[in-house]
């Protein structure tokens, strides 16, 4: 089949690899000028590890795994350590591999079949689905923002939380987006010396978090802040930088000004709401959604990429099994993927209270809880 995949994130690349290696002709359209590879390291967990193995990628992923034995420390406004987070709560395990986004994107891109087409700097603008039948002329007509017009047997929306395919085929984002009450940003901090003590400091004041994460030779500034939904253009990076600066305005404690300067300077800043996409169905006609476009669980779940892996693998497998009956395949895909999604989406409950407590009292209570837990030591102990 001729299949269009909208979005070249982890879900889009994984869909293209799974479908392309099964003999489908795949075109990927990516809005950006390049594969977007920034952001903090990502986890591959549970059944997604088995899928990476079946895709023939597990060894390469293991070779590039990030050593996450760094210890997180909650610090005060002067940078003094208040609580050390036990390493076993922060590290990975046999059931969980952590890898840099850029490495996983490269591994997936290298695994694309030679005839896969990648169209950068373009996006779907209109989708006309001719229905579920078979035969000459039946398929999906797609017009791109560039003016290009093409026909496909199937269209896969893998274009993330703010999916264009979802908007065009299923309706406006507000019908499906459940805001979890805060925003997150991640910026590169080039020029930071890697620290030998392998410690990641995290500073909280009510409703806010600013911190530093280090892995390999990379240093990242991370931010979270509680907020009601903010109306802004998701493709306007300067607007996102302004929102972030305003959220932390007037705060010069610890290294907040340095971190904000790094965010301002980063041409690839990651900024988004913590949101979940909840939909009663992920397919309509010949169009199907995968990854965050279908079922974002939010960064707090740590399972976005694992969900992208399981979903795209199941989808490709079911298309094979159904012998081209895409409706039967889409239904089986939903049935098999749904339990993974439900688990991941439910797993985030209470996470924000731990990471971004709303009051000083809640920050102190959180610190005491962590202090009381096994392996934690007060500063200097
Ligand atoms: C740059 C970036 C950094 C991230 N960093 C983190 C992080 O640090 N922590 C975390 O928890 N999660 C992060 N995420 C989200 C995380 O990658 C996903 O939850 C998970 O990997 C599932 O990926 P996805 O492919 O479904 O969605 P995404 O990773 O969001 O990928 C969607 C892709 O589609 C492209 N796209 C969007 N709209 C269109 C369009 N209209 N037409 C064509 N292409 C389009 C985007 O440029 C992107 O490449 C990040 C996402 C991105 C894009």
Q: How far is CA 242 from the centre of its chain?
A: 22
CA pair distance 226, 364, nearest whole angstrom: 18
pLDDT of residue 381 exceeding 50, the answer is: no
Please provide the average confidence, as pLDDT, over all residues in the chain: 90
- Give distance in angstroms: CA of 76 to centre of ligand 1: 32
pTM beyond 0.85: the answer is yes
Mutate to test the pocket of ligand 1, among 127, 159, 220, 297 (most ligand atoms within 8 A of CB): 159
pLDDT of 20 higher than 80 = yes
Instruction: Tally helices (H) and strands (E) across the chain.
Output: 13, 18
41 within ligand 1 shell (Cβ under 6 A):
no
pLDDT tens figures, 26-41: 999 999 998 887 778 8
Q: Per-residue pLDDT for 153 more than 60?
A: yes
The count of C-alpha atoms lying within 13 angstroms of the C-alpha of 370, restricted to the half-sphere facing its C-beta, is: 26
Q: Is the pLDDT of residue 376 over 50?
A: no
302 lines ligand 1 (CB under 6 A): no
pLDDT digits (tens, 9 = 90+) for 250-280: 999 999 999 999 999 999 999 999 999 999 9
pLDDT digits (tens, 9 = 90+) for 154-175: 999 999 999 999 999 999 999 9
Could you read off the pLDDT of 234-254 as tens digits, one per residue?
999 999 999 999 999 999 999
Average pLDDT, integer, range 312-330: 95
Tokens (6 digits) for 257? 């000004």
Per cent of the chain over pLDDT 90 is 74
Q: How confident is the model at residue 25 (pLDDT cuts 50, 70, 90)?
A: very high
Domains and CATH numbers, the chain: 2-63+100-176+278-346 (3.50.50.60), 71-95+180-275+351-372 (3.30.9.30)
Query: Which band of pLDDT confidence, cut at 50, 70 and 90, is reported for residue 18?
Result: very high
Q: Are 289 and 27 in contact (CB under 8 A)?
A: no
Q: 165: Cβ below 6 Å to ligand 1?
A: no
Q: With a 6 A CB cut-off, is 185 part of the ligand 1 pocket?
A: no
User: What's residue 178's pLDDT?
Assistant: 96
Q: Does the beta carbon of 275 lie inside 6 Å of ligand 1?
A: no
**Rounded-to-integer distance, Cα 312 and Cα 314, Å:** 5
Whether 223 lines ligand 1, by a CB cut-off of 6 Å, is no
Which ligand 1 atom minimizes the distance to the CA of 161? 30
Atom of ligand 1 nearest to the CA of 32: 47
Residue 373 has pLDDT above 90, yes or no: no
Structure tokens at 78: 């002067």
Indicate whether residue 219 lines ligand 1 (CB < 6 A): no
DSSP state of 173: G
Q: Name, in order, each residue with C-beta under 8 angstroms of 166's C-beta and a sequence gap of 6 or more.
A: 157, 159, 173, 176, 277, 279, 289, 293, 294
Region 138-155 average pLDDT: 94
Q: Residue 196: CB partners within 8 Å, gap ≥ 6?
A: none
Whether residue 89 has pLDDT greater than 90:
no
Enter the DSSP assignment of 170: T
Average pLDDT in the 101-106 region?
92
Q: What percent of the chain has pLDDT over 70?
A: 92
């Amino acid at each position: 089949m001729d299949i269009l995949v909208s979005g070249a994130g982890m879900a889009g690349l994984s869909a293209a690899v799974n479908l392309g290696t099964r003999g489908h002709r795949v075109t990927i359209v990516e809005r950006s000028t390049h594969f977007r590879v920034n952001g903090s390291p990502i986890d591959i967990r549970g059944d997604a590890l088995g899928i990476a193995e079946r895709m023939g990628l597990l060894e390469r992923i293991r070779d590039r795994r990030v050593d996450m034995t760094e210890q997180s420390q909650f610090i005060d406004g002067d940078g003094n350590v208040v609580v050390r987070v036990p390493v076993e709560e922060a590290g990975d395990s046999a059931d969980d591999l952590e890898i840099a986004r850029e490495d996983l994107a490269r591994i997936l891109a290298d695994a694309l079949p030679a005839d896969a087409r990648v169209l950068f700097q373009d996006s779907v603008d209109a989708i006309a689905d001719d229905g579920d039948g078979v035969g000459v002329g039946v398929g999906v007509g797609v017009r791109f923002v560039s003016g290009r017009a093409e026909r496909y047997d199937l269209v896969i929306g893998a274009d993330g939380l703010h999916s264009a395919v979802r908007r065009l085929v299923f309706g406006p984002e507000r019908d499906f987006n459940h805001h979890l009450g805060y925003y997150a940003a991640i910026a590169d901090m080039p020029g930071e010396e890697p620290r030998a003590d392998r410690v990641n400091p995290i500073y909280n004041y009510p409703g806010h978090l600013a911190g530093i994460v280090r892995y390999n030779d990379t240093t990242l500034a991370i931010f979270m802040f509680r907020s009601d939904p903010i109306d802004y253009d998701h493709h306007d990076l300067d607007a996102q930088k302004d929102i972030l600066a305003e959220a932390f305005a007037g705060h010069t404690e610890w290294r907040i000004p340095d971190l904000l300067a790094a965010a301002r300077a980063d041409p690839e800043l990651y900024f988004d709401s913590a949101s979940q996409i909840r939909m009663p169905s992920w397919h309509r006609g010949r169009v199907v959604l995968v990854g965050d476009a279908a079922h974002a669980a939010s960064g707090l779940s740590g399972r976005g990429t694992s969900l992208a892996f399981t979903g795209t693998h199941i989808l490709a497998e079911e298309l094979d099994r159904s012998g081209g009956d895409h409706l039967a395949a889409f239904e089986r895909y939903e049935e098999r993927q749904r339990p993974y999604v439900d688990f991941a989406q439910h797993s985030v409950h209470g996470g924000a209270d731990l990471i971004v407590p709303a009051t000083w009292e809640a920050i102190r209570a959180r610190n005491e809880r962590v202090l009381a837990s096994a392996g934690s030591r007060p500063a200097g102990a």
